[in-house]
Amino acid sequence: MDLKINEIFYSIQGESTYVGVPCIFIRLSGCNLRCTFCDTTYAYDEGKMMSVDEVMDKVESYHTRLVEITGGEPLLQDGVYILIHELIERDYTVLLETNGSITLSKVNGKVIKIMDLKCPSSGMSHKMDFSNIHYINKKDQVKFVIGDRGDYNWAKEIINRYNLLEITQVLMSPVHQTLEPNILARWILDDRLPVRFQIQLHKYIWEPNKPGI
């Protein structure tokens, strides 16, 4: 089964608990959400059709065992499950970044799922499928991208409502060039909130709006 691929590239992992580690990124085309702060709008439609074998050939050319499947929204394409199977069969560590609106029920349990729960300022918080919390555990991660104090308060409420700190790893990051990192860091410290603060490291290493970083 072919996949519509926007880009495959090798870079430094800029987010998640794997931040700073060399990683292969497979960005699938297409997204069902339109977040106000989206930094990959070029992935909405652009891409080329590739077979799973072609994708694997490209992945194996980088000689690195950490792979992230991202988008867009990768779970929109049924072929992603075949790709995940092939990567796991070949002993890759597989990260899956997903936008929280599509069921995780079919995702292989060996995948490290990074679920981005969209906060109100994204304009997409009403699209979240909170039943996905049933499919995540301690090896997985839930991410909140915070644009303002309202987002932060919403995220705290969701963390408490679903007892996320007992279930999985929780990350918070500021919307790049919208909320200053030190402001979010201060809110977290003032509330003694035991989450992992992060910034999009790749945007500080490379040109921030450039594809393939």
Spans of all domains in the chain: 2-205
Query: How many CA atoms, within 13 angstroms, populate the side-chain half-sphere of residue 139?
Result: 11
What pLDDT score was predicted for residue 50? 98
What pLDDT score was predicted for residue 206? 75
What pLDDT score was predicted for residue 197? 97
What pLDDT score was predicted for residue 80? 98
Backbone angles phi, psi at 22, to 5 degrees: -55, 140
Angle between helices 149-161 and 181-190 (to 10 degrees): 40
Task: Kindly tell me if the per-residue pLDDT of 208 is higher than 80.
Answer: no
Q: Which residue has the higher pLDDT, 26 or 206?
A: 26
**SS3 assignment, position 103:** coil
182/163 Cα distance (integer angstroms): 26
CB 158 within 8 A of CB 125: no
Split at pLDDT 50, 70, 90, the class of 107 is very high
Q: What is the pTM of this model?
A: 0.94
- For the beta carbon of residue 135, count every other beta carbon within 10 angstroms: 15
Average pLDDT of the chain, as a whole number: 95
What pLDDT score was predicted for residue 162? 98
Q: Hey, what are 18's tokens? A: 């794997």
CATH number assigned to the domain covering 2-205: 3.20.20.70
What pLDDT score was predicted for residue 1? 81
What pLDDT score was predicted for residue 177? 87
Q: Which sign, positive or negative, has the C-alpha torsion 139, 181, 160, 131?
A: negative
Interval 6-22 mean pLDDT:
95
